[in-house]
Homo-oligomer: A and B are copies of this chain.
Amino acid sequence: MSNPPSVLVFDVNETLSDLQPMAQRFTDVGAPGHLSTLWFAMVLRDGFALTAAGSQQPFAELGAGALRTVLTGLDLDRDLETAVAHVMQGFSELGVHDDVPDGARGLRDAGLRLVTLSNGSSQVAEQLLTRAGIRDSFQHLLSVEDAGAWKPARTAYEYAAGACGTPLDAMTLVAVHPWDIDGAARAGMSTVWINRTGASYPDYFTPPTHTVSALTDLAGRLA
């Protein structure tokens, strides 16, 4: 491997975890399943708004608050707070994408250091990776809660570099979200975009260094 990145920094929500079951949680409570996608975009929108305004709140609080906004006024089959709790419970019981276990083990076996850096809590990442049987492939599970700012603020990536004792330009962010790729690139990291769905990459964001359609393809691309 020529010039291998010393640390691979993984985004967690939607990059490692599969959010597909969230649509069922919405239909469970009597709401349209397609609102799950809107809800997740709103959580990020509001989290980034707070970041842009110089503030920060825990991901779970934004998740529940944005759910109240999305679900208010719908004809739900239970009261609003019970519906919010049911949907949020689903978020903490997600599994990983099919390509994640083999992909992560392959990268670890190739001698790379793997960490996570999530806008969510470290606890959610811990439970997700433990359930998937790949917790031991990751050295550190980092959260922006300890960084003082959400990604894609530069501060968040700098925090990860400090926690790993590695300069930013020796780190590679791996994510499905173009906004994360863009922020990491602006901070000086190389980047990998996982595009599992054949999506288009917005031209207003910094392009990724590498693009793969599955995590299992990454070790070969970095070789």
Contact = CB atoms under 8 A, between A and B. Distances in A.
Interface of A: 32, 34, 37-38, 41-42, 44-46, 48-55, 57, 61-62, 65-66, 68-69, 72-73, 149-150, 152-154, 178-179, 182-183, 186-187, 197-200, 202-205
- Copies of the protein in its oligomer: 2
B52 A52 contact: yes
Contacts of A149: 52
Nearest to A55: B186
Given A53-B182, A186-B53, A62 B199 contact: no
By Cβ-Cβ distance, the 10 closest A-B pairs, closest first, are A49-B179, A48-B48, A45-B45, A65-B202, A51-B52, A41-B41, A53-B183, A53-B152, A57-B204, A72-B200
A151 to B, nearest CB: 8
